[in-house]
Amino acid sequence: MRMVQVSTVHWGLLPIGDVRIGSVTLLGGESGSGKSSIIDAMIAVMTGNETRFARYNSAQTESQSHRRPSAA
């Protein structure tokens, strides 16, 4: 079995759409463009979102916890 396409609908800030997956696929783009979000979506589907198997983008969580609070 091989994954050939990832479809996103209401997944983080990603637009609704399809990403074709080839035998070798490179995810490239600027910081914040959604590369890790695509991988997180694939992990959620392949593991059934079971937390003992799913390891999401920990760098995103870590960077958010170190941000300064915004002035309100």
Q: Please give the helix or strand (H or E) that residue 19 lies within, else none.
A: strand 17-20
Query: How far is Cα 32 from Cα 10, in angstroms, rounded to an integer?
Result: 16
Q: In this predicted structure, what is the pLDDT of residue 39?
A: 87
pLDDT tens-digit map of 6-62: 898 988 888 899 989 999 989 999 988 888 888 888 888 888 877 776 666 655 554
Decide: helix, strand or coil at residue 7. Answer: strand
User: pTM surpassing 0.85?
Assistant: no
In angstroms, the CA 3 to CA 46 distance is 10
pLDDT value, residue 66? 44
Instruction: Report the distance separating Cα 23 and Cα 63, nearest Å.
Output: 32
Using 50, 70 and 90 to split pLDDT, how confident is the model at 68? very low
- pLDDT for residue 16: 93
C-beta of residue 18 within 8 angstroms of C-beta of residue 2:
no
